[in-house]
Chains A and B, each alone.
Chain A
Amino acid sequence: MCIDDITGEIALSLSLIFCRNAKSRHIASRFIQSQENLNLDHELLKFHKSYKRHPELQDFTVFRPHLALLQKRMRDWKPRTFSELTRPGYYDRFGWYTAIFGVVFGVLGALSLIVSGIQLAYAIVAINLAQRSIELQLQQMGMTTGN
């Protein structure tokens, strides 16, 4: 192992993150645009020339503990603030989608409750108006029969 291997492992890790699918390559291009004085294109191109394959676990010796810890942190991540509730974790996404589904239905239920309340209020107002109109009609009928 030599210094070049550390350089190689860093290139491998960049390739692992940015070169495995089209979406990741798109993120890489945006990442490069947001950074100054970086030549990631050159690094990735060099990697492809050197390896021409996807990285495998046995390629990582120096950075394997780093990857293990990152994965552990990804696995253990839990939302701690209200805004983080809107972001799905990396694992058990079915649970997150179920929760979001429940929240959406809960919100819809609450909205329907509010709408029902408003409808009830309008209905009461409508009944009052109808009663008043009936009373007026009865009064008018009484006046005509009296004449």
Chain B
Amino acid sequence: MACPPWLDKDFLYTLNYGPSESDPSFKERLESVLDLVHGEPEQRERITLLDRSVAERLHKAIFGERYKGARFLTDWSEGPKWLILVGDKNSVTPFDYDPHASETQLFLRVEAFITTETLDPYFLRSALCDPRPSIVPIALDVVDLICYLASLPTQQPPSHKSKTIDQYLSDFIQDRELRSVVKPISNLVRTYQVQPEAVGRDKVVLRYLADMLKSATLLPDDSHWEVLGRRFPGPDLLLGASPSTPSSSLTQIFLDDFTADFICSGPFRLIAADDIRHHLRLTEKNEIQLFLNSAEFLSMYNCHSLKRCMIECHELTLGTCASTILPEK
């Protein structure tokens, strides 16, 4: 597919690095960009809006573990050896996203977040920076945030209680300057952090960072507050907070009660869920939800930088109570 004619190099440069322009045609182009990022994935997979060197840094930050070589080439001599053939007519060049790579959907989501936060005047981001910001500073803040969270130690002593996302993001703001937030607001947030009575009065930057994290980990339909309250490291980020049950309940589970015929012989029903966080959770209508596409969904995280942090801590926590588990009935 050819690149849209309005997406020329000058426009792309301004989009990436600013400054904003009041030219009416520029605004029209911005609307076209929003249509593009929310449009068909097939079209989107052909176009990288981010500066390719920044896109490469972002990709490396999110998928560092599996990252090999250059994914976002800035120069390319056309030749068959560089092409991934898809069918007879379509091909994926080194300038396109690979639609077959499991992480492509996640990365596109990050880029869509960055672009939308930048361009959509109704989004949270517009309150943090005036005039209209460009997309590279946000991308670099995402890189910093992911690198910071990925660097957190996952091996903690059993007595250590993991922090919430809210607390980690607060620490993150304390340590560094955000490129995509104007200084007065950044400084204001730091002031709030050292005044406990003022905490909660203004968490706009924390919510903004929570949205960044949501996009970088592909957590759909979550409110900022829900993400901010989750414990990290651990699987809470991906699967939502675990149901709170007394520890005695954990030791008295009779698996024979979970067969479909037994469940359906009573008042509960089985239904399919489209969100992994709803797996084995009950609705208000007494429906047990089952997430059936787990393998496909989780394949996106196989090479994610935060994969290690999403799971290891939980294993430690459960390891401490494993010795108290009674035998199954």
Contact = CB atoms under 8 A, between A and B. Distances in A.
B311 A28 contact: no
Instruction: Provide the main secondary structure of the chain A interface.
Output: helix
Contact of A65 (B250, B259, B302): B250
A66 B281 CA distance: 7
A17 B322 CA distance: 23
A34 to B, nearest CB: 9
Nearest to A54: B255
A101 to B, nearest CB: 18
Interface residues of A, number: 52
Nearest to B308: A2
A27 interface: yes
Contact of B294 (A6, A17, A70): A6
Interface string B256-286: 1111111111111010100010011110001
Contact of B263 (A17, A64, A79): A17
B270 A74 contact: no
A14 B312 contact: no
12 contacts: A1-B312, A1-B314, A10-B276, A31-B270, A43-B294, A61-B315, A66-B242, A66-B243, A69-B243, A73-B282, A77-B268, A89-B266
Interface of A: 1-7, 10-11, 13-14, 16-18, 20-21, 23-24, 27-28, 31, 35, 38-40, 43, 46, 55-58, 61-74, 77, 79, 84, 87-90
Q: Please give me the 7 A-B residue pairs with the lowest Cβ-Cβ distance, nearest first.
A: A23-B261, A24-B260, A66-B280, A69-B243, A10-B294, A68-B249, A27-B260
Interface of B: 235, 238-239, 242-245, 249-250, 252-268, 270, 272, 276, 279-282, 286, 288, 290-295, 298, 301-302, 307, 310-312, 314-315, 318, 322, 325, 327-328
